[in-house]
Amino acid sequence: MNLNEDQRRAVETEKTAVVIAGAGSGKTRVLTERYLRLVRNGVQPSRILALTFTRKAAAEMHERISQGIRGLARSSHGLLEDFENAHISTLDSFCALVLRPHALGFGIRPDFGMCAADDLEGLESRALSFLLSKKDRPGVRRLIHSWGLDRVVNDFLCHYGRNHAMVGAVPDPEEWEEWYQEKVEEAFTSVDEGMERCGDFVRECAREARILEEERKREKKKVSESIGKLIDAGTMWEVVEAAWDRVRSRREGGSGLVPEVVREWREALDEVASSLKGLRVDELRDAIDTLKKELGVGKKPPSSSLSAVAGDLVSLLERREEASSLFGVLAEWHGEVERFKKERNLLTFGDVMHLVLTLLKEEKEVREFYKGRFDAILVDEFQDNNGLQRDLLFLLAERKGRCGDGVPSFEDLEPGKLFVVGDEKQSIYLFRGADVGVFLDLKERANRSSHGEVMRLPHNYRSEPGLLDAVNRMAGAFPEEMRGGIEFLPAEAGREGAGFTPRIEAGVYVKEEEKARAEGRDLVDAGTAEAWWVAGRIRRWVEEGELVVRDGEEVRPVRYGDIAVLMRTGTNQLAFERAFRAHGIPYTAAYSRNLFLEAPANDLFSWLFIAVYPHDLLSYAAVLRGPLVGLSDRDILRLIEREEGCFSLSREEVEEMLGDEEELLRERVERYERGKEIYDWLVSHRDRVPHERLLRYLWVDCGYRMVLLGREQLHPFLRFYDELVAFVRRWEERPLARCLDEVKEELGRYGRVDVEEGRGEDAVRIMTIHAAKGLEFPVVVLASCGAESRREGEGKMPYFMVEGVPAFGFEGDEEGKKENPLYRRAAEEMKKKEAEEMLRLLYVGLTRAQSHLLITGEWRGAVGKEEHGADDGSKKTVPSFMSLLFEAKIEEPEVRFKADQEGIAGVEWRDPERIPGITEEELRERVGSGSRGGRWEEAARWYEEVDEGVGGVRPGVLSVSVLAGEWEAERGGEARGRGAVFGSLVHRGMVLWARLGDEGRVREALRGEALAWGGDGEWGEVDRVCEEAAALVRRWAESEVGREVLGNGAGWEVECVAEWEGRVLHGVMDAVWVGDGVVRIYEWKTEEEPDVERYRAQLFLYGLIASRVWPGRRVECVLGVPGGRMWRGVWGMEGEWEEVAAWVRGRLGITI
C-alpha cells in the first residue's frame, strides 16, 4: 500500500505515538498498515489489541486488516488461524470481556447485559417514586421550586443516575461535605486577602483625599463632594473591618461561620462600595480606579474583586444546609440506581468501564495478565475519549515489571506499545462524556517525553484542492476565543484536481416579516422557506446538469445520490422532507429523528399512557403539568401522593386537598375536572376507535393545536402532528398497549421513524453532522446554519459535577439568596465547552464535502444598519454556524463570508444569495407532490371543503375532484351519498390490506373506522357494511392488479399539487408507483366494470399533475374495480385524451 512520508513515519515509529489525523488524511490506512507491520515484524494478531468506539468502525477496521492478513498468510503458515483470535472491537466490548470472569466479585452475575446510559428503561418511574419519598427534605423542596418537578426527575435524578451513578462507586456524603467546607475555607481566605488589600487602598485614598482637602482649603478653593466621600470611605471602612473581625473571631473560636454575621459584614462592605459609585477626583484618578476595581464597584465586577469573592462566601454559607441535604439525597439515590441495575442484571457502558478500571487498579494479578496478553494497543478516534478510558489504556500499556498503585504516568508506559489516532478538531461528542482535553493533555505529555512522539497527517485526499483551500480559509477565520487552545492548521491537498472547478454557494434568509405584513403577506417560517429554496437548487443541479463531480478517474453530472444535506440537529428535518417530496426529489433520512424528544410527543402520548396504565405516575404527572391541565408542581405532588389512580378524586376531595389558596382554588379545580373529562373519554374510546382518532381528539377537540398556535415560538411543533399520526398508524391493528410499548422505547430519546418516500440508491441523504462523521459526499448542503445554540440561561442543569462533587443550582429564589458560585462557574465552563465544540462541529460539517459546498440558514442579525442588543444580556447566545461563517457590516446591504477570498484560485466562491420569504399560497403555486398518508375521513372532509367551488377554499387552487365531478355529471350522473362514502371505506381497506394482509384484521380495523366516522347513523348496520367492504378488498387483493400494486411498493393516498398553464391543480391519488422512466397512477372505483369514459377527466388531470411532478417519465393510468377488472392506458394530450384535454382547457378558460 502506498504511503506518503508522514503516514510512513507514523506507521514505523517505535515510540508511544499520538497521530493527529485530519479529515480525509487516511487514518484508517495508517492504522491498518501499523497493524500489518507489527504482524510482519513477528507480533501475532492475537497479541494486538485494536480498539475503536463504534461497532461500525470496528467492523470496517476488521475488514481492512483482514484483507491485508490474507495477503500475508500466503507466506506465513497459521496466520489466518491466529487472526481468528484477534481482538478488534469497541472499547465497551473489550471491557465486558475483561469483566465477566470477575463480575461476581462485584455482586454482578457474569451474564449481565449492557446498554447505553440513555437506554435504562424504567428509571424515570423509579426516580419519581424516590422523589416523592424525599420531597420534604429542605434541599429537595428548594430544587423543585427552582426547576419544577419534571426537570428534577429527568435532569437531576435520571441524569445523575445515567451518567454518574456507577455500580460499585456509591459516594460518601461526608466526603462531599468535607469538600464543600474546603471551598468555604478557600472563599474565606480569598476574602481575608481581599480585605487586607482593599483596606490598604481605602486608607491610602482617604489619606490622599485629606491632604487634597487641606490644600484646597488653604487655597480657598471649593472642596468637591467626591473628596468628602473619599474621606468618609476611610471612616466607613473601619466599620467594615470591625464587622470582619467579628466574623474572624467566630471562625477562630470554633463557632463556625454564621450567614447572618457574614451578611452584616457584607452590608457594611456594600455601603462603602456604593459611596464610591460616580466618585471622581482628577488628581487621584488612578488610585480611585484601582480601588474601585479591587472592591468590585460597578455592574460586572471582576471575579477576583472583594465584592465578588464576598458574594461567593455569603452564597456558600447560605446554601450549605440545602447542599448538605441534597448530598445525602443524592448518595441515597446512587444506591437506589445501583439496586435498580442489579435487579435487571443490566450495566451501562460507563459501569463496565468503571468496574474494569477498579479491577485493574486493585487486582494486580489481573492487570499483569492483560498487560502480558498484548504487545501492542492501537486506538482509533481517541479525541472522543475521556479520562476514564485514558486511565484504562494506561493501565494496559504499563511497563513490564511495574505494577504500582493507581494509574501509571506517561513515563511509566511501555515505549511503542500504545498507538493512538485522533484529531482534536473533530471532537464532537461532549454530550456523551467525551473530553477533548484528554487528547490535548496526551499530546502534550507525548511532546514532553523522550519515548513519546506526536505526528501530524496534514494531507487531505478527500476534497478538491480549490475547495480545500476555501475551507482552510473559513477555519482560519474562526474566532480565537472559541478555539479552546486548538490550532486549525491548514490541510494540504493530497491529490490533483479532477479538471472541473468546485463551487461554494450560500443561501441566506433575512427575516422580512415586518415588510411582508406591511404588504399583506403572511410568510411561512424561515426553516420552511430555506428548505424549499434548497430543494429548488438541488433539483436544478441535477435536472439541468449544472454541477459535475468526480467518479473514479472520470467526471460526470451530479446525481441525487451524490448530495447530502447535513444539519447540526434534526429540528428542521421535517421541513426538508416535505420540500423534497414536493419537488419530487428522492431522499433517505439516514439519521435518528428527534421526533420523540419534543414536547408534543411527550404531552400527547402521556395521555394515552394513563388511558391504558392508570398507575403510571410519571405519565400522570406529565399530564397534570401539561398545557391541557396546567397544575403547579406543588399541586401535582399532593395529587399523585394521594390518588390511587388517575383522576380518581371527586370534586369535593380535590377542593379539600387544594384549598389552601382560596383565590385560585376554583380555577385549579376546574383544570382538574377538565383533565378528568379528557381522561374518561380516552378510556372509553381506546381500542374502539383507531389510535390516531385518540390523537386527533387531543390535538383538535381538546385544543392542543390551539396551545401551539397561541405561542409563536411553538409554531415549528405544528408539523409534528402528521409524524406522530404516521407512527401510530403502523400499530392501528394492534391494541393501544402494544403501540405504547413501542412509543415507550422512543420517548425522551432519538427514535427513528421510517420514511416511506424516496427509497433507493440515487437519493439525497439527510443526516446530522454527527451521523456523517467519517463519511464523505461529492456535494454537501450544510443546512439550518442559522439555528442558534441556546440562549443565556437556557440549557442549564439543576446540578453540575465539580471535581467529582455535585454543585446545585437554585433559580428564581424568592428568598433573595445568591446563586451557588461553584454551580455558576461550572455552568460557565460548560457553556464555554459547548461553544468550542460547536466550532469543531462546524469544521466537521465543512470537511465532509469532496467537490461542492452549499451553506444555508437564517441570518438573525441586522443587515445594513446598526443592531442594538438588550443591556441586560438577554440577547446573548452561543453563536450559530451563520454567525461564525458570515458577517454583515453597517455600511453594506448584504451578508458576506468572513473568510478572506483574496487571491484564492481553483474554486468558484460565489457571494451569498438571499433566500426569499414565501407564503403558503406561493408554496402551493409551485410544483409539488407529497404523501398525505391521511385517513379516508380526513380526505373526505378535504373534498367537502373544496367542493364549495373551484378554488373556493384554497384561493387559486383547482380541485381535481370538482373538475372530474363536473365531467362525470355530464356523462352519467355523479356518485354521491352512501356510494361515495362506501367507496372511501373500500379505499381505506385497500391501504390496510397492504399492511395487514388478512381479511379478518382488515374488517376489524374498518369497523373502528366506521365507528369513528359515524357508525350506524351513517351506513346502517356497521358490521354488515364492513364485511361487504372487506370482501371487496379481498377480491381486489387476489386479482392481477391487486397483486401488482401490493408487490411494487406503491405509495397510497398521495396528495399532489402542480402548475399548468398558470393554474394550480390539486388532487389525492389512490396509489402511485414511481419506477425507472415510468410513473403509474392507480385509481379504484366500486362499480362492477371500469367505466373509463366516466372517469376520463380524473385520470387526465392526475396524469397531467404526474407529468409535471415527475418530468421526463412516461405516465401510465390504471383504472380498477375491486373484482379485479381494470383498464390501462398511457397518458397524453392527444389521441384518446384529446377530447378531455379540450374540455379541461375550455372549463378553465385556457386558449391555445
Same domain, 729 and 629: yes
Whole-number pLDDT of residue 1020:
47
Position 329 in a domain: no
Same domain, 961 and 865: no
CA distance 511 to 449: 55
Same domain, 253 and 305: yes
Would you state the cell numbers that stand for residue 634, as one nine-digit string? 406543588
User: CB-based contacts of 1017: which residues, under 8 Å, 6+ apart?
Assistant: none
What is the largest distance, in Å, between two alpha-carbon atoms of the chain?
A: 121
Domain containing 293 equals 174-320
Tell which phi-psi region holds residue 107, choosing left (phi > 0), alpha (psi between -120 and 50) or beta. left
Name the residue among 403, 405, 409 with its Cα closest to residue 441: 409
The last residue of one of the domains, among 866, 890, 914, is 914
User: CB-based contacts of 21: which residues, under 8 Å, 6+ apart?
Assistant: 27, 30, 421, 422, 423, 457
User: CB-based contacts of 834: which residues, under 8 Å, 6+ apart?
Assistant: 430, 789, 795, 878
Same domain, 222 and 263: yes
Same domain, 696 and 764: no
Name the residue among 311, 325, 195, 222 with its Cα closest to residue 262: 311
Position 332 in a domain: no
Position 646 in a domain: yes
Position 136 in a domain: no
The domain that contains 648 carries what CATH number? 1.10.486.10
Would you state the cell numbers that stand for residue 955, as one nine-digit string? 384561493
CA distance 532 to 192: 63
- N residues, the chain: 1152
Q: Can you name the residues that pair with 849 across neighbouring β-strands? A: 777
Same domain, 586 and 599: no
Position 487 in a domain: no
Collapsed DSSP state (helix, strand, coil) of residue 460: strand
Position 491 in a domain: no
b/e sequence 785-799, b meaning 16+ C-beta within 10 Å: bbbbbeeeeeebbbb
Instruction: Please give the tally of structural domains in the chain.
Output: 5
Same domain, 571 and 676: no
As a whole number of Å, the end-to-end CA separation of the chain is: 67
Position 272 in a domain: yes
Same domain, 448 and 546: no
Contact status, residue 1104 vs residue 1151, Cβ threshold 8 Å: no
The domain that contains 1085 carries what CATH number? 3.90.320
Mean pLDDT for back-to-back runs of 10 residues, the chain (1152 residues): 90 95 93 95 94 86 91 83 90 94 94 86 86 88 86 92 93 94 92 92 90 84 84 90 87 67 86 86 86 85 87 87 93 95 92 95 93 95 91 94 89 95 94 91 94 95 95 94 91 92 95 62 84 94 92 92 92 83 79 54 86 85 88 84 84 80 75 92 86 85 78 66 74 76 56 40 88 93 83 70 92 60 90 92 97 94 51 50 88 83 92 88 54 32 33 52 83 51 74 72 69 47 74 82 78 77 81 84 81 90 88 89 80 92 87 64
Collapsed DSSP state (helix, strand, coil) of residue 451: coil
Same domain, 1010 and 1082: yes
CA angle 500, 506, 508 (to 5 degrees): 170
The last residue of one of the domains, among 746, 779, 805, is 746
Position 921 in a domain: no
Same domain, 1119 and 1026: yes
Question: Which residue ranges make up the annotated binding site for ATP?
Answer: 21-28
CA distance 749 to 592: 9
Contacts 24+ apart (CB under 8 A), 751-756: 751/592, 751/593, 751/595, 751/596, 752/592, 752/593, 753/593, 753/595, 753/723, 753/726, 753/727, 754/730, 755/577, 755/587, 755/588, 755/589, 756/931, 756/933, 756/1051
b/e sequence 292-322, b meaning 16+ C-beta within 10 Å: bbbbbbeeebeeebbbbbbbbbbbbbbbbeb
The label of the residue with cell 487621584 reads: 284
Question: Which whole-number Å values give the CA distances from 1013 to 725, 953, 1008, in the listed order?
Answer: 17, 23, 9
Task: For residue 779, give the amino acid letter.
Answer: V
Same domain, 908 and 935: no
Question: Which whole-number Å values give the CA distances from 998 to 1002, 1007, 1048, 1049, in the listed order?
Answer: 6, 14, 19, 18
| Helix (H), strand (E) at residue 674 | helix 662-685
Collapsed DSSP state (helix, strand, coil) of residue 897: strand
Whole-number pLDDT of residue 1015:
46
CA distance 875 to 689: 48
The domain that contains 559 carries what CATH number? 3.40.50.300
Same domain, 1066 and 954: yes
